[in-house]
Structure 1
Amino acid sequence: MACSLTRLQKWWLNILGCFVMLEIFLLVNNYKQGPTTIDKRSYWEIQSDIERKIYRNLPMDELLDPKKSKFWHRQRRCGLFPRFFDIKFTNTYWQKLNTTNGTVMLHAAYYDDRLPETPIVWVLGAGRVANQLPRLFCHLWFNAMMHPVEVNVTWSKHLHGDNVFQHWHPEVFLGHLIKCQIPEEYKEQVPSVVSMVSQSCGRSFNALKVTNNKMAKMQDFAVCLKGLWSPFQENHVQVAEWIEMNLAVGASKVIIYVFAVAPKTRKILAFYERMKKVEVLQMEWAGSMPTSHTPLAQEWFYQNVSWIYSNFEDYAHSDCFYRNLYTYKFVALIDIDELIMPAQHSTWQEVFQELKRQGVDPSDYTSLFFQHYDFFGNRTTTKTSSFQLLDSDLRAATEYPYGWQDKGMFNTQKANIVFNHDNLGCIEPPCRSVLVNATLGKLNHYGSNCTHTEVLKQIECLEMKNNLVMDNLAIKRYGTTIKMNVHHALQSIEESDSIPH
């Protein structure tokens, strides 16, 4: 006998069909947009990861493990391992060492065995006078040893080389790289913690985790961006575009140091960090200077303390270089309005292969630099979209003078002290640098004005602006992909109304 459906049953079937169609649509849409990652960790697990990232330079396991702390406190031979509440912080990211000859600030430590016969622990610190740190000792703590190994600091270097800039404010600290040489009898071991003291066998009130990120296979390129500071202006579209451009030309990861940024920019950074394409590292100034919690005070310092920002560039660049010593072959140090653009090829990998074909093996050099070319906006007077890099297609016909404002990539197996315009040291002199021919690649600077400097006079800037050529390589080569990816990123932070067209 035929089974007839009531009106109510038909109604429910229609509702069920609508839900099925909606589910299919959502599944297809999620497939197109990529899988959604659901974090199933507990609140405390998430919070633990957040705080470990904040205190990334602290030896949290050793400080909070009562067995380890008790083990290192049992000895009476030389020095004492500090307890957590002994550590003298100035802010979350810096520790303080007071000496009779001044204060030294301490940020991070890194293991370096690029020269296996003489492994080193480098300490990133800061002092008030360039190249004149007080006498220091390193206490190297090894897991299997009860007492520290003490070594005298015989070498330290100002991160800006021999250049000493005016700094009239007493709280401005100048970055230094401090060398802790591991003794011959311990060179097969890796210390887990280093403390700094001003007197032999003195008690330490600081502790730095020794970063050691050795991997079986290193990736090719990483990009390091110095402290991002834009708390009063949303530039999230520009940040997303810049990240995507660097990924498109060959970067495996973009590492961004952040002081203070606006809310939407913070959301964009979090999106790319979830995608494992970006690493975001919060950073503050050394000493008792204003932190990111007081951006107005920070802005005053930026405007009134000469060379202050340049000092803090040094911290970010050095930390990024040494933190990735064993994870990337080359590290590029560029700004948010700059891009190293391949000329004939699509990626940096292809450029390096071409250099090798021409007899210039990048692995033989400490650094590779690209000449600086200014871009002056779009060929039309009306801005067509929110994209800065893609829409800039008017370039100065001439480059900056050789050696001025060049930027490039640093070989992590050869460089020692890195500076965005040069390498200031290498592990085995002489340092060798090469300027890549502009037919292979350029440093594109997407600004509305050229720099008035002692090298480039105002009249030369005007000549540059009046002698422009069309250069739309970025939009032609990467435009479609970049815009699609930025569109998706903005959608992900619920900014669909701000999506550029």
Structure 2
Amino acid sequence: MLWPKYWGVNDKGASPYLISCTNPFYSRNLIPQYISIVENECDHANNILEIKNKRPKDGHKKHFLVSVKGIDFVDDVSLLLIEWFEILKLLGVDKVEVFVVNAHVNVIRVLQFYQSEKFVTIKYLKYPHELPNKVNESWHQWSQNDLVPYHDSFYENLYSYEFMVPLDIDEFIMPVKHEDRTWLDLVLRTINRFKEKHEEFDAFPVTNRYFLLKSIHENETIEGIPKKLRFLSNIYRAANFTPNGGNAKTFMRTDRVLAVHNHFPFSCIGPENCRWFIVNLDDGQLSHYRIDCDNPECKESKANPTKDITLWKYKDEILENVNETLKRLKFFDKIL
């Protein structure tokens, strides 16, 4: 079961499972095209599932896949999404898979645009109607639902990318050092830090830091940067990182991880628990842009925010690319 029981039991719905089986043709170097799943041995099958064995023809993996769990909101966040995609492209992300439950028509247009650019893959997601699929109906079911798209994304792209990173559209992993421009720079720097340990690592978590839109600076404007651009225009964050790894996001190695979660891997191929090497706080952070929150860290951030313009090393490129995309989409009468 893809959910530790000590997190609570989902007794009002259905829990996701990872089912493993041996390939009976492995010794002959053959891979099945289809399988069926039955409840008991020798039962008659009433389903047939295609094996998605996506291996690059040249055997070369790309670096980074981002997976976005089921989008389920009606707000028009199309401009936010455009800015986010352009930042991810500059960070060296190769592909973003977005699972859609329900979204505004403009959001769909943006997703379709980036899909036509071969940067995004859209997957429409529908959960069984009898399950309590809203957070106020069942927190356990709502949380466990996320694990279905994440694992679909992870296993379908297992042989195509070196790392999978689950993200929400209000956050991204930011290389802090000025000379590090991409995620690859950050990962290579992290790998070099742990080489001397001579150990195998399965994942690289990046610690969370909140950028809160509601603070003593929320009404300030910055010349040359439209307030509509959430990420570029909000330059004040919490002074401290979220303690105990809370809300971290992780580079997960596709050749080592077995089961994934929003924040950390559940299980890995090693005989022990997953081993991860936390990205050095001076090297990278998860920049998490929340409108508001009320935990002690957030309250401190709102009262004593710290200026952080690390993202501005891409400022001109982000502005240019966002404007170009808006022109092509013909979304707004006036360009930003």
Q: Structure 1-normalised TM-score?
A: 0.61
SS at match of 1:258: strand
Correspondence list, 1:370-449, <5 A: 370-377=206-213, 379-382=217-220, 384-430=226-272, 431-449=274-292
Query: How many angstroms apart in 2 are the aligned matches of 1:380 and 1:306?
Result: 31
Of 292, 306, 310, which aligns to 1:473? Answer: 310
Q: Which structure has the highest strand share of the two?
A: 1
Displacement of 1:459 in angstroms is 3.9
Which of 329, 332, 354 is the equivalent residue of 2:165?
332
Q: Of the candidates 304, 307, 320, which is equivalent to residue 137 of structure 2?
A: 304
Residue in 1 that maps onto 2:83: 241
Give the drift of 1:406: 1.4
Find the aligned partners of 2:265 and 2:26 in 1 and give their Cα distance: 32
Deviates more, 1:463-472 or 1:367-376: 463-472
Q: CA separation of 1:369/1:187 partners in 2, compared to 1, >3 Å: closer, same or farther?
A: farther
Tell whether the 8 Å contact from 1:365 to 1:434 is kept in structure 2 after alignment. Answer: yes
What letter corresponds to residue 397 of structure 1 in structure 2?
A: A
Residue 324 of structure 1 aligns with an amino acid whose one-letter code is N
Partners of 1:229 and 1:259 within 8 A in 2: yes
* Displacement after TM superposition at 1:356 (Å): 3.5
Which letter maps to 1:266?
Answer: I
Contact (CA 8 Å) 1:317, 1:419: kept in 2 or not?
yes
Pairwise mapping of residues 44-443 of structure 1 onto structure 2 (< 5 A)? 158-165=1-8, 167=10, 169=12, 172-183=13-24, 186=27, 188-215=29-56, 216-230=59-73, 232-286=74-128, 288-289=130-131, 301-344=134-177, 345-360=180-195, 364-377=200-213, 379-382=217-220, 384-430=226-272, 431-443=274-286
Letter paired with 1:411: R
Tell me which residue corresponds to 1:485. Answer: 321
Q: Sort the Cα spacing of 1:477 and 1:185 in 2 relative to 1 into closer, same or farther, 3 A.
A: closer
Cα distance, 1:381 vs structure 2 = 1.1
**SS at structure 2 position matched to 1:435:** coil
Count of residues in Structure 1 that have an aligned counterpart in Structure 2: 324
SS of residue paired to 1:281: strand
Which residue of structure 2 aligns with residue 464 of structure 1? 301
- 3-state SS, counterpart of residue 244 of structure 2: coil
Identity of aligned residues (%): 26
Amino acid at match of 1:442: Q
Give the distance between the partners of 1:184 and 1:275, measured in 2 at CA. Answer: 38
CA contact (8 A) 1:268 1:489 kept: no
Structure 2: runs of 5 or more not aligned: none
Structure 1 segments unaligned to the other structure (5+ residues)? 1-157, 291-297, 453-457
> Residue 194 of structure 2 contacts residue 277 of structure 2 at CA under 8 Å; is this kept in 1?
no
Using the size of structure 2 for normalisation, the TM-score is: 0.89
CA distance in 2 between counterparts of 1:422 and 1:181 reads 26
Aligned equivalents of 1:197 and 1:186: distance in 2? Answer: 24
CA offset digits 1:299-347 (Å, max 9, x no partner): xx34322233311111111111111100000111111111100011111
The separation in 2 between residues aligned to 1:235 and 1:279, in whole angstroms, is: 18
Give the secondary-structure state (helix, strand or coil) at the position aligned to 1:358: helix
Checking the alignment, whether the CA contact within 8 Å between 2:68 and 2:168 is kept in structure 1 is yes
Identify the structure with bigger relative contact order (alpha carbons < 8 Å, sequence gap 6+): 2
Shift of 1:185: 6.2
For 1:376 and 1:164, locate their aligned partners in 2 and report how far apart those are by CA, in whole Å: 28
Two-structure CA RMSD over aligned residues (Å): 2.3
Structure showing greater radius of gyration is 1
Give the Cα separation in 1 of the matches to 2:23 and 2:308.
Answer: 51
Q: Are the aligned partners of 2:25 and 2:31 in contact in 1 as well (CA < 8 Å)?
A: no
How big is each residue's C-alpha offset from its partner over 1:348-402, in whole Å with a ceiling of 9 and x where there is no partner?
A: 1111222233344999321100111000238451564221111110011111113
Distance 2:26 2:259 in 1: 27
Assess, with a 3 A threshold, how the Cα gap between structure 1 residues 313 and 498 changes in structure 2: closer, same or farther: farther
Q: Aligned pair in 2 of structure 1 residues 482, 202: CA closer, same or farther (>3 Å)? A: same
- Cα separation, partners in 2 of 1:498 and 1:174, compared to 1, 3 Å: farther
Cα displacement (A) at 1:465:
2.5
CA 1:269–1:444: 2 relative to 1, 3 Å: same
Deviations 1:90-123 (A, max 9, x none): xxxxxxxxxxxxxxxxxxxxxxxxxxxxxxxxxx
Residue 217 of structure 1: SS of its match in structure 2? coil
Code of the aligned partner of 2:211? F
8 Å contact from structure 1 (residues 173, 286) kept in 2: no
Conserved in 1, the CA contact under 8 Å of 2:242 and 2:297? no
Secondary structure of the residue aligned to 1:176 is coil
